[in-house]
Structure 1
């Protein structure tokens, strides 16, 4: 059996989004310096990326579950670009249909330029109807709008100073934008979501796939579907398959971390996570249970030092 390549590992940042579904209690009192220290720890620990998600406004009907603390992803990642040097900056995910692609491209190109080429543009369809309605975007047509927004973004973030896109919903030409992204032919676009439409969008329009809550036993079928769609379309370029791991705690916590949390010695955690690589996953998004920022950064360091080297050859 050939050796399994060691997958990259990244993480969604805490603090910047505080849904009751996953936020730890200490995050409510945290702020910019906490985010900066977590980003520095990720940078030092070889984390492939840090990620920030996207909501413009949360309707009252969802506020109890989702909270209303959602930092702007471009502003947040630009702030963290200044305190890091290696880790990539991922939007996971930007609701791309809410913004004209030329306007969004100005922000993303600037972020890629300022960070030295570290942007990864993760995009998704969104799910909050009121956000679309208040911004004048058709919620029911968001999939079609997202498809064209991705095409427009890829054109606008390409190497041309005067990009061209002619679509049904968006069109632009003879309009120059600088600075250009550092990355050529442009920052990678990873498509989020696990519905049939989302995986098809990832396969045909993306450079990678960000699953949304797929259990382990469903990932192989999703990966196979994306591979098949790409083969049928004659697409054979690099493609990044992702996974979101169960919550982690390196060591024995001594407190209740939840029934789904993987805990234990580094060898045991690595053995469990290697199953993702065996499926063909190239990057694993990890999340750590914690009761304070210090406990979180200690967990990140322990993972980078003791678990990550055991993930593959």
Structure 2
């Protein structure tokens, strides 16, 4: 079974640029590039669909993905138009739509700035997932008492639902082609797969993907592990031991061993969000891919 190895494009502060970064990742042999979706963050954030359209237009092979798009930040018709346009301009087969609730990084303030209700994130996300196919096919969709049909129609991309809660697993089992987990060690994966299989019922069980946090170095050391684990724990509200357990950091040999364990557990896609220098991390991740080929 194919094993997709991708990377999140660098933040604006890195200075690499979306086009140069996407070309570098493709040239290194990676399979996919990803962008997160936030309105405001401390470090700054590109608009995900616009960045991915630029990345896809500058490359010929690499798949582009949202990791993850937050429809609840937007009016549902604007959100659908956002994705319809992206699906129309990215060659078919080269787009993955990761969708989630978000909220951990910026919290309720991000939704207040957007003028959308924080407490309605789940309901708004479910409504978006239910309406996305009809919207993209150009079918009339009732919105606030008015039937809205978007044009031109666009291909419906594979949908990957992100999130680690049982509600997220239910959402993925009901409405998605894949599930994007995060903050998990290889030993955590079989339980999630069993739960997704049970929840899917008569539907095909979603494919399993994983967002990884960490990086690659030629000479990993304890101080670097401590620094990145502390940062991960603070950013995502993890206890220190769990942060170190889910952190992916090491030499290409060490990271290849970790990714091999994930693949054996049933994961078919990984996307690394590097905390080490981006270009070097991509080059070393390419070495990992060659080892796992």
Report TM bin, short chain: 0.7 to 0.9
Q: 1:279 to 1:171 in 2, by over 3 A?
A: farther
Instruction: Please state how far the C-alpha of 1:144 moved relative to its aligned partner.
Output: 1.4
Give the conservation status (yes or no) of the 8 Å contact 2:69–2:98: yes
Q: What secondary structure does 1:92 align onto?
A: strand
Structure 2 residue 265 is matched with structure 1 residue 297? no
Aligned pairs for 1:140-289 (under 5 A) are 140-157=119-136, 160=137, 162-166=138-142, 173=147, 175-178=149-152, 180-181=153-154, 183=155, 186-230=156-200, 232=201, 234-236=202-204, 239-252=206-219, 256-259=223-226, 260-264=247-251, 266-289=252-275
Partner of 1:111: 86
Q: Which deviates more from structure 2 when the two are superposed, residues 147-156 or residues 128-137?
A: 128-137
- The RMSD of aligned alpha carbons is 2.5
Aligned to 1:76: 51
Distance 1:149 1:6, change over 3 A: closer
CA–CA separation in structure 2 for the residues paired with 1:246 and 1:84? 25
Give the deviation of 1:80 after TM superposition: 1.8
Contact persistence 2:182–2:212 (CA under 8 A): no
C-alpha contact 2:220 2:249 (8 A) present in aligned 1: no
Tell me by how many angstroms 1:250 deviates.
Answer: 4.9
* Contact kept? 1:189, 1:206, Cα under 8 Å: yes
Deviation of residue 74 (structure 1)? 1.6
User: What is the CA distance between 1:256 and its match in structure 2?
Assistant: 5.0
Structure 2: how far apart are the matches of 1:225 and 1:156? 30
TM-score normalised by length of structure 1: 0.76
Q: Return closer, same or farther for 1:125/1:35 CA change in 2, 3 Å cut-off.
A: same
SS of aligned partner of 2:18: helix
Contact 1:50–1:87 under 8 Å retained in 2: yes
The one-character-per-residue Cα deviations of 1:188-220 (angstroms, maximum 9, x if unpaired) are 111111011111101111111111323333222
Q: Deviations over 1:120-154 (max 9, x none)?
A: 11111121212323444222122112111111122
Gaps of 5+ in 2: 227-246
SS of residue matched to 2:6:
strand
Instruction: Return the alpha-carbon distance in structure 1 between the equivalents of residues 67 and 254 of structure 2.
Output: 28
8 Å Cα contact 2:11-2:43 kept in structure 1: no
Residues of 1 paired with 2:89 and 2:144: CA distance?
27
May I ask how many residue pairs the two structures share in their alignment? Answer: 269
- The 1:176–1:6 alpha-carbon spacing in structure 2 relative to 1, beyond 3 Å, is closer
Give TM-score, length-normalised by structure 2.
Answer: 0.81
Matches within 5 A, 1:25-64: 28=13, 30-31=14-15, 33-57=16-40
The whole-number CA distance in structure 1 between the counterparts of 2:95 and 2:2 is: 22
Between the aligned partners of 2:44 and 2:256, the Cα distance in structure 1 is 33
Structure 1 residues 6, 143: CA separation in 2 closer, same or farther (over 3 Å shift)? same
Query: Separation in 2 of the partners of 1:125 and 1:299?
Result: 28
Matched, 1:125 2:111: no
Structure 1 stretches lacking a partner, 5+ long: 17-27, 58-65
Instruction: Give every structure 1 segment of 4 or more consecutive aligned residues whose post-TM-superposition deviation is greater than 6 Å.
Output: none
